[in-house]
């Protein structure tokens, strides 16, 4: 006897993994926003001509204590997005399940940002 599978959605509500996926996604993006704020204070100052004209001192190096915090925040953001992708890989079984391209984008951006900072420091 063959069973006919209807195209009807059988899931009633989101389960624990779906909630974990959402929390990890929000946590990853929140950490990314925090990394932008920390990066603003840790990055070297922009060398504008008006600042040189008025002999205002310009910091040309990254602040190392804040850069350490920046690495931690970026790596936690990347870890959160990676865990989100792992959960999504094992959780999704249907074609119409969400693909979470924003989480993949977050992972790529954070890895590129860490690489850029490492190249700027050394």
Distance, CA of 29 to CA of 10 (rounded, Å) = 31
The 10 Å CB-count burial string (b at 16+, else e) for 24-45 is bbebbbebbebbeebbeebbee
| Predicted TM-score of the model (pTM) | 0.77
Residue in the structure block whose two tokens are 């950490």: 31
Mean pLDDT of all residues belonging to the chain: 84
Domain boundaries defined on the chain: 25-121
pLDDT in tens, 59-111: 888 888 898 899 999 999 999 999 988 888 777 666 656 677 888 899 999 99
Q: Which two tokens stand for residue 23?
A: 């929390």
Q: How far apart are CA 19 and CA 47, in angstroms?
A: 46
**CA 28-75-18 angle, 5° bins:** 30
Highest mean pLDDT of the ranges 2-16, 24-38, 61-75, 107-121? 24-38
CB contact at 8 A, 107 and 82: yes
Angstrom distance (rounded) from CA 41 to CA 3: 62
With cut-offs at 50, 70 and 90, classify the pLDDT of residue 21.
confident
């Amino acid at each position: 006897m063959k069973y006919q599978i209807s195209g009807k959605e059988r899931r009633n509500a989101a389960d624990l993994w779906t909630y974990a996926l959402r929390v990890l996604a929000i946590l990853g993006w929140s950490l990314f926003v925090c990394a932008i704020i920390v990066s603003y204070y840790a990055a070297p100052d922009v060398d504008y001509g008006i600042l040189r004209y008025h002999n205002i001192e310009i910091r040309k190096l990254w602040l190392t204590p804040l850069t350490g915090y920046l690495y931690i925040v970026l790596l936690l953001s990347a870890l959160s997005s990676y865990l989100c992708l792992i959960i999504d890989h094992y959780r999704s079984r249907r074609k119409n399940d969400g693909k979470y391209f924003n989480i993949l984008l977050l992972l790529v951006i954070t890895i590129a940002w860490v690489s850029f900072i490492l190249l700027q420091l050394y």
